[in-house]
């Protein structure tokens, strides 16, 4: 059983109170609850009390659409940030997208051997195709995610080849800006605490 948790055991609200994002100067969106959450955690948790001041002005930011965010996650798996950016640039040029907005149909218009010419492994090309199929068919309910609980969204995402629980949790945190997700087997988090 994977180690992960949504913080607290109370039933999830349909919509997170105060989660509406606020546009910021960096071109992303910071959740409205951010500053209050940092103050609360700093008072309640001895580890977070030490970490929050270290990272001062750091903000949680969401950028891009769901499909593009998940596609970038797949491309970046198990390679360096620099290599991931290089492959991503080649991939988006190949499928005719822009690096900030990719359409599922653009991916579905190419077979695996063609996708591989962008530097993708066979598996990643297959995963990106599966992701595109899920989005194009409506198998993922993007328009309903704001009203769905975390576990329901995770269940939808892990049904896509190439997306595991950790990727789904990162998506909840960094794209949907859900405040009560704690990926207990995240190496960066474990090193930080």
Biggest alpha carbon–alpha carbon distance for the chain: 54
Q: What is the pLDDT of residue 22?
A: 53
Q: What is the pLDDT of residue 120?
A: 98
Q: What is the pLDDT of residue 29?
A: 66
Catalytic residue positions, numbered: 186
The structural domains of the chain, with segments of one domain joined by +, span 22-61, 66-174
Distance, first Cα to last Cα, the chain: 22
Q: What is the pLDDT of residue 48?
A: 86
Q: What is the pLDDT of residue 92?
A: 95
Q: What is the pLDDT of residue 193?
A: 62
Give the integer Cα–Cα distance in Å for 155 and 163: 10
Q: What is the pLDDT of residue 64?
A: 77
Give the integer Cα–Cα distance in Å for 87 and 119: 6
Q: What is the pLDDT of residue 28?
A: 58
* Assigned CATH class of 66-174: mainly alpha
For 190, half-sphere exposure in the C-beta direction (CA atoms, 13 angstrom radius) is: 7
Mean pLDDT by 10-residue block, N- to C-terminus, for the chain (193 residues)?
43 42 57 84 90 81 86 95 96 87 95 98 98 97 95 97 94 89 70 65
Q: What is the pLDDT of residue 181?
A: 85
């Amino acid at each position: 059983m994977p180690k992960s948790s949504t913080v607290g055991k109370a039933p999830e609200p349909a919509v997170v109170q105060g989660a509406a994002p606020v546009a910021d100067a960096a071109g992303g969106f910071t959740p409205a609850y951010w500053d209050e959450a940092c103050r609360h955690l700093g008072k309640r948790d001895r580890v977070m009390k030490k970490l929050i001041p270290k990272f001062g002005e750091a903000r949680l930011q969401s950028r891009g659409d769901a499909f593009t965010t998940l596609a970038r996650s797949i491309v970046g798996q198990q390679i360096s940030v620099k290599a991931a950016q290089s492959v991503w640039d080649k991939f988006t040029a190949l499928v005719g997208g822009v690096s900030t907005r990719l359409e599922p149909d653009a991916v579905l218009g190419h077979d695996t051997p063609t996708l591989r010419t962008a530097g993708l492994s066979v598996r990643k090309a297959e995963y990106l195709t599966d992701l595109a199929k899920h989005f194009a068919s409506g198998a993922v309910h993007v328009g309903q995610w704001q009203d769905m609980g975390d576990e329901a969204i995770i269940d939808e995402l892990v049904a896509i080849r190439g997306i595991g629980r950790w990727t789904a949790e990162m998506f909840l945190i960094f794209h949907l800006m859900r405040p009560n997700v704690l990926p207990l087997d995240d190496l960066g988090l474990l090193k930080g605490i």
